[in-house]
Chains A and B, each alone.
Chain A
Amino acid sequence: MHWLFEPGFFSSGPVHVALVIGGVSGVVSALVGVFTVVRGQAFGGHALTDVSTAGGSGALLLGLTPLTGFVAGGLLGGAAMEALGTEHERGRDVATGIVLGAATGLAALFLYLDATSGATSGTAQQVLFGSIFVVQSSILPAVVVLAALTVALVAALYRPLVLSTVSPEIAAARGVRVRLIGVLYMAALAMSVGLSSLTIGTVLSTALLIGPPAAALQITRSMGRALLAAALIGVATTWLGVLLSYDSFDWGSSHEAMPVSFFVVALVFAAYLAAGVSRRRPARLRDAEVR
């Protein structure tokens, strides 16, 4: 096994923390992300990550932990998008874009101020691209609690959420408060984005949110099985990403590890493509229409 696991992989403290945080955020993002993908909210989910960037960099400026800022920013951004969002799809597209643009502007300012105040160096890439190997183990309880809360929220919403995701009209007719469910779901989304921002950075947490669920949904159509498959793919890609990044220290002569985020994203993308290839059977209708 020596060729696979570089010496010290299992005895290194930072690696343990990285594996726990990576695994937890991989599972939570995947569970929440299945709904994001089916609801066609990939753009909204991604925009939340950028809002979280603003939150995270603002928190550093105030001396709070990034996690607080990620979650607070995400919750505020989700609320703003729900408030601005109009009914038809293009209106929602633009509303999301506007929130996204404003949030990145704020992030630019906060990161600039972080950098010039000199408190922390390298804030920009820490917030944007994550730093899973330098996460303090003292933050683990907060991560686990937040993850549990997020999963509990999704579980509590499960039936009405599935119904209003698959068919909002039927859900409304059955007395489900579709709008309320949407808002609560946005909150779960914001919390999961906050979690994965810690792992691979806000900019790339979209990868964990969209990739594993999209791959899972290509393999199976059943909601339950998709949730399971997405969670498995999510954990597998983050753990493998951590391992490869650790190993990459000894690749070549430079002795500089390649970023975890790169490996995680590359693996997620590969999983999506592989899932697409494994399911080549039905020539899909939409395809034929478009051509």
Chain B
Amino acid sequence: MFSSFMVNAWASGSIVAVLAGVVGFFVVLRGAAFQAHAIPNGAFAGAAFANLVGIDPLIGLAIFSVGAALGIGVLGRRGRGDVVTALALVLLLALGALFLSRTSAYGPEVFSLLFGELLGVGTSQLLPVGLLAVACVATIGLLFRPLMLTSVLGEVAEAKGIPIARLQGAFLVVVALATAMTVPVVGALLIFALMIGPPAAARSLSARPMVGIALSVLLALVTIWSSIASSYLTDWPVGFFVGVLGAALYAIGRGTAMLARGQSRRHDRV
């Protein structure tokens, strides 16, 4: 399980988990689950495009997912956010399907892009993935205060003159960059599970932001590590374990929170 060809999987999986834990915390806090689900599909289209044209997948991933984030941000300001997100999502998937149908590698390629390929990460990709991760976490760190404020107290933030729409756009771009590099590891559909399950569980366990983020990262790490191990042992797709463990963590978190609330009846929102 820890032999040389698995080293990349463990390393990239851990980077992905830390990132998903941090970014996902704000995704849950801001109620941006749908956007976070849609943007990775841009990465799917991007990977398919890179495959077709013959460029570095990471470049294709980054271009398409950032494009998706900006598109959702801009169009969402004019129309209804959820409708725009849904349409952007299906457009990206359709483009991905089109690009893949133009290459010969249709079947297996679709599957690994959507559901992840544990061994799909090469050593040469680790460095850019790591750098992107640092950049994303740093950006979240810089935006921490306005992000918290707009998420929790929208009116106050507005009164203080924080440019809410632009902040949301910047946040979506961070989500896009975060997903761009995680798609090859856990797949377009399941990076989402990692961004929602552990953070949602963390949020129901603690109302304090810093504790919540730390818990969220910890739970995401536990999820990805046990998923990689289980996937190695059973040969089943890693995405299956990520999805189911994420939901299980959330169920446990909510159960615990409900028990705790039985004693002190307070609302579980921050």
User: Residues of B at under 8 Å CB distance from A?
Assistant: 28, 31-34, 36-37, 77-80, 82-83, 85-87, 89-91, 93-95, 97-98, 101-102, 106-107, 110-111, 114-116, 164-165, 187, 189-190, 192-193, 196-197, 200, 236-237, 239-244, 246-247, 250, 269
| A98 in contact with B97 given A42-B86, A210-B86, A291-B165 (CB within 8 Å) | no
Instruction: Output the nearest chain B residue to A121 by Cβ-Cβ distance.
Output: B107
Q: Which of A101, A125, A265 has the most CB of B within 10 A?
A: A101
Instruction: Select one of A37, A46, A102, A256 contacting B89, CB under 8 A.
Output: A46
Instruction: Select one of A106, A203, A218, A291 contacting B93, CB under 8 A.
Output: A203
Instruction: Select one of A102, A115, A218 contacting B247, CB under 8 A.
Output: A102
On chain B, the residues within 8 Å of A218 by CB distance are 79
Q: How far is the CA of A122 from the CA of B242 in the complex (A)?
A: 24
| A101 in contact with B91 given A96-B33, A214-B80 (CB within 8 Å) | no
Instruction: Output the nearest chain B residue to A110 by Cβ-Cβ distance.
Output: B240
On chain B, the residues within 8 Å of A88 by CB distance are 269
Does A93 have its Cβ within 8 Å of any Cβ on chain B?
yes
On chain B, the residues within 8 Å of A107 by CB distance are 115, 189
On chain A, the residues within 8 Å of B192 by CB distance are 97, 100-101, 104
Smallest CB–CB gap between A133 and chain B, Å? 13
On chain B, the residues within 8 Å of A125 by CB distance are 97, 106-107, 110
Q: Is the CB of B77 within 8 A of A287?
A: yes
On chain B, the residues within 8 Å of A211 by CB distance are 87, 90
| A101 in contact with B83 given A109-B236, A112-B237 (CB within 8 Å) | no
Q: How far is the CA of A286 from the CA of B187 in the complex (A)?
A: 36
Q: Is the CB of B243 within 8 A of A104?
A: yes
| A272 in contact with B87 given A46-B34, A50-B189 (CB within 8 Å) | yes
Instruction: Select one of A89, A102, A266 contacting B193, CB under 8 A.
Output: A102
4 extra interface residue pairs, beta carbon distance < 8 Å, beyond A214-B87, A287-B77? A104-B192, A105-B242, A210-B86, A261-B97
Instruction: Give 27 A-B contacts (CB < 8 Å), ordered by A residue.
Output: A37-B83, A42-B80, A43-B86, A46-B89, A96-B33, A96-B34, A97-B33, A102-B193, A102-B246, A105-B247, A106-B240, A108-B187, A115-B111, A124-B107, A124-B111, A124-B114, A125-B110, A204-B94, A204-B97, A256-B102, A259-B97, A262-B95, A262-B98, A266-B94, A290-B165, A291-B77, A291-B165
Q: Is the CB of B83 within 8 A of A214?
A: yes
Smallest CB–CB gap between A59 and chain B, Å? 17
Q: Could you tell me how many residues of chain A have their Cβ less than 8 Å away from some Cβ of chain B? A: 60
Q: How far is the CA of A214 from the CA of B87 in the complex (A)?
A: 10
A:221-257 near B, CB below 8 Å: 254, 256
Q: Is the CB of A259 within 8 A of B101?
A: yes
Smallest CB–CB gap between B22 and chain A, Å? 17
CB 8 Å contact bits of A180-194 with B (1 = contact, 0 = none): 000000000000000
Q: Is the CB of A102 within 8 A of B33?
A: no
Q: Is the CB of A106 within 8 A of B236?
A: no
Q: Is the CB of A93 within 8 A of B98?
A: no
Q: Which of A99, A109, A261 has the most CB of B within 10 A?
A: A109
| A105 in contact with B190 given A40-B82, A94-B196, A128-B114 (CB within 8 Å) | yes
Instruction: Output the nearest chain A residue to B249 by Cβ-Cβ distance.
Output: A98
Instruction: Output the nearest chain A residue to B200 by Cβ-Cβ distance.
Output: A94
On chain B, the residues within 8 Å of A203 by CB distance are 90, 93
Smallest CB–CB gap between A49 and chain B, Å? 9
Listed from nearest, the 5 A-B pairs whose CB atoms lie closest are: A105-B243, A101-B193, A102-B247, A265-B94, A97-B33
Q: How far is the CA of A156 from the CA of B87 in the complex (A)?
A: 29
Q: Is the CB of A98 within 8 A of B237?
A: no
Q: How far is the CA of A291 from the CA of B196 in the complex (A)?
A: 29
Smallest CB–CB gap between A281 and chain B, Å? 14
Does A70 have its Cβ within 8 Å of any Cβ on chain B?
no
On chain A, the residues within 8 Å of B116 by CB distance are 108
